[in-house]
Structure 1
Amino acid sequence: MKRTVLSICALVASTSAAYAANITPYYLTDGDSSLTYEITNGVLTNTFTTDQLGYPLAVRDSIWLGNRDDGGATEFSLAGVSTGNTSAGGSNFKQLLDGAAGNSANYGVECCGGTNSVTIANVDWSNQRVLFDLGFNGTGVAYDFVSNSLFISEFGNTIYNYDLTGQLIQSFNIGMRLVGLAYETATDTVWGFNRSTNNLVQLDKNGAILQDVNIANFAPNNPFGGEMRVSSVPTVPEPAPLALLGLGLLGLGLARKRRG
């Protein structure tokens, strides 16, 4: 009995730890200030100078930072050092505020125009083209590796989930405006940055808020692009702590019944 209780407590504790701040480094771009920030476990761990108007980014083994107006891209190491590699843009889009790395492509979201496209591009942001059109101002995009779909935020309180053909899967109102959406493969959740509070917010894929993380002494000027490094193999998320606790209590009840 004692061993069973200890095992259940350990399982619940390990699951709670999965939602401690942000496990994967979150990169946030402020293109107007030519800065990119790295935030890990709710702490600002690095700030480095990047390109003017660099907003949409894709993070794999390195960072490819695109230009807001489809003016090319520059590659940086994960520590923020330029590699010297660049790519040419097509100048076909305006106000690309956020980007996301997919399996073999990048995705961008356009704001404040007449159409506001969701774009697809090569991993270095070259050959950017329309994937499908939106009917609202897009401020964040994250690619979900498990469902092969996109989460997109607007200049409002709603987040939309689309498949790659532009068909709406679901939408939810979260009561706050998030930019810089990022998918975390380690937890199978979505993160975003609240420009009103300067907090990082974690959501499950049905829109429930899991965490609202304050970042001490952090007040960026005009951040929009957010991304987390893509893991090679997305892991299956662990069950919620309360669900585990319920299963544990059920197990204890069965054990007592057998002994009785």
Structure 2
Amino acid sequence: MPEIRKSTVVLPELFVVLVLSAWSWVVANDGEPNWSRFRGPNGSGVCDLYQFPTQIGPDKIVWQVALDGAGHASPVVRNGRVFVASADPETGRQVLAAYSTENGKLIWQRLLPGEVFPKHAFNSFASSTPALDEKQLYYAWAIPKSLRLIAVAQETGEIVWDKDLGPFVSQHGFGASPILYKDLVILPNEQDGESFIVALDCATGSVRWKTPRKSEKTAYSTPTILRIAGAKDQLILTSWAHGVASLDPLSGTPLWELP
């Protein structure tokens, strides 16, 4: 099993990137960029506001703070705050934290229950990247007895709602990330047990739609929205059981599949 290093958040001057060698994150502080979900705007991985710096070194670091956990979740940024999810590798306890992009000051921290369970050596207990809208943060994590999706107030860290989506069965752990579409937060639950993709109401956490999926090998795909001029939006995701699939993001109705 690889050595687990202490995680850090690093804020250089221009952009958002993961520095693998140090498990460090860098986030823009020039202007007010928003990087609000896994891989940024609609999962594209593209930011048009900044150029990637040609050199990264100590002279580029504005601030650096140590985290209370480790994890593969990406940081997300909105309105001068960077939000980070991590987990204690010894206990599985989840840690959500918000920092100022200006100086790295801790604004709030929220501890969430977790536990240690068998997973792939390359996975972590905090591998799901949060998603942000104007006011709330949405975060998912799993232990064998429950997959949880919560909404947290960005301003205070208070939990707005907490949804238990049932047991999660996998020998490798969890890793999919939630996305937002209109007033819905959408999360795939592709596992060895009962599988489905679900959309919850952002304001209340109530289930707006839930589409069953074939249960096969656990999948870790994060969906994206396909927008084509003159056509309805489509929710696109992949899995071992279905291949590439398209659903109506407002109703969850399957549209097509490419096994």
Classify the TM-score, shorter chain.
0.3 to 0.5
**Structure whose CA Rg is larger:** 1
Structure showing the higher helix proportion among its residues: 1
Larger RCO of the pair (alpha carbons < 8 Å, separation 6+): 1
Give the TM-score of the pair, scaled to structure 2: 0.44
TM-score, length of structure 1 as denominator length: 0.44
